[in-house]
Amino acid sequence: MKLKTKAWLVSQGMLIVTAIIIQLTFYKEIKVGPMLGMPKRDYWDIINKVEPEIPQYVIENNLIPKMYDARLDLSLDDIKKANLGAYRKAHRQESGLRMAFKGGLIVNFIYLLAYQILVRYFEKTIARAKVGRS
């Protein structure tokens, strides 16, 4: 295996490990789901933006969405009145987790392109320096 390939694999591996640590840290901080009384959702449900199931008590009591859904654009008074503070935070954390996942993919893609360009540049520079020295 060429040194170039080994260097790329090591550096890419470090980027992936860093991205995994960030994702696990973000996911660990989420305590509940985005609706009142809802437990924490699975990681891939959050990443794939799967629509959460409406809790059973909401269906039974025929509540309006303002009373249980923290994903809605609510005022601070509405959030306090419905006791949705933690669920609003969970909704923001889920959005942050999705953003961090997308960001990790973009960073890895940019790194791939930059690495390939820089390796070609340095190889050409070294080849020119060897020719000039001869």
Q: What is the dihedral of CA 18, 21, 25, 26, to 10 degrees?
A: 60
- CA torsion sign for 114, 116, 117, 119 is positive
Q: What is the pLDDT along the chain (134 residues), one digit of tens a residue?
A: 788 788 888 888 998 999 999 999 999 999 999 999 899 999 999 999 999 998 888 889 888 999 999 999 989 998 898 899 999 999 999 999 999 999 999 998 998 899 889 888 988 998 888 887 76
Residue 94: the pLDDT is: 95
- Rg (C-alpha) for the chain, rounded Å, is 24
Residue 49: the pLDDT is: 94
Note the pTM of the prediction, 2 decimals.
0.80
CA dist list (Å): 68 to 30, 53, 93:
18, 12, 17
Residue 134: the pLDDT is: 63
How much of the chain is helix, strand and coil, in % rounded to 5? 70, 5, 25
Residue 133: the pLDDT is: 75
Residue 5: the pLDDT is: 82
DSSP 57-75: HHHHHT--GGGTBTTS---
How far the first Cα of the chain sits from its last, in Å, is 29
